[in-house]
Amino acid sequence: MADSDGFLFLYANGMKTGIGIAKTGKMGYDGKEAGKIRKLMKMGETSMPVRLPELPELLRDMLLEEAVEAAIDEGRDVEALRFYGEPLPDTPGETLEFSGCYFEKCEFRPTAAGRLVFVDCEFEKCDLDSMAFHKATFQRVRFRRCRLMGAQFSETPLLNVTFENCLMDLCGFSDCKAQHIRFLECRLKESGFFRFRWQDWTARACSFIGAEFQETALRGLDVTSCDLAGITVDLPALNGLIVTRDQALALAGLLGIKIKE
């Protein structure tokens, strides 16, 4: 049933789950309505905007393999460099930090990689398919028009990270802690979010077809512009998810409810 404040309440096995419904009749809702929903859901203060990478004004061009070898040999970070069309070399057992770097059309598919840290970095049209970012760190990082099919972010802090126009089918986020994270016009078909802890998550015009959300609270997440067809989610996670009325009716099917026309 829906109440006058725009929430749909679903009941299953005696459990009540509230889904916030945007009321503009469009795929999104205006600022006034957003403020009302936040107040009703006790969201607290308005979220701070996501911070984009702070790249140096001058970047030096360098071969990625040479930069990595020099950083490892000299025990320093890779800083203020631009890389174009190169693969990331193997870095077994090493912790490698990139700071203020720009990657364009690079390929990350090493056979062995240590822990990677990226601070104030930008990835443009890079191929990161099947890359395992295990216990990596991303702080003020933007991915634009990148391939991340099957990429795995496990036990990975994500702070001020933006994914924009990226292909992310089968991408996995497990045991991650994210703060100020954005998915903008991304395709995340059959992606997985497992024990994904977040604060300030934006999802705009994304495809989550067949995605799975387990032990991942979705309270306050606005997915009114996203495709949620065929998602799998545990019932408590739906509490407070902001959807359109049509999406709410579709999600009712997860409870085994059949809507009679």
What's the total number of domains in the chain?
Answer: 2
Query: One-letter amino acid identity for 236?
Result: P
Per-residue pLDDT reduced to its tens digit, 121-159: 999 999 999 999 999 999 999 999 999 999 999 999 999
CATH code for the domain of 91: 2.160.20
Per-residue pLDDT reduced to its tens digit, 187-237: 999 999 999 999 999 999 999 999 999 999 999 999 999 999 999 998 888
pTM of the prediction?
A: 0.82
Question: Residue 154, Cβ neighbours under 10 Å: how many?
Answer: 15
The structure tokens listed for 67 are: 């930069």
On the question of pLDDT at 16 being above 70, the answer is no
Which domain range does residue 225 map to? 1-43+220-261
Instruction: Report d(CA 213, CA 234) in Å as an integer.
Output: 7
- Going from the C-alpha of 21 to that of each of 42, 101, 126, 193, 232, the distances in angstroms are 15, 41, 37, 23, 19
Write phi, then psi, for 203 (nearest 5 degrees). Answer: -130, 115
Q: Do 212 and 253 fall within a single domain?
A: no
Q: Do 91 and 211 fall within a single domain?
A: yes
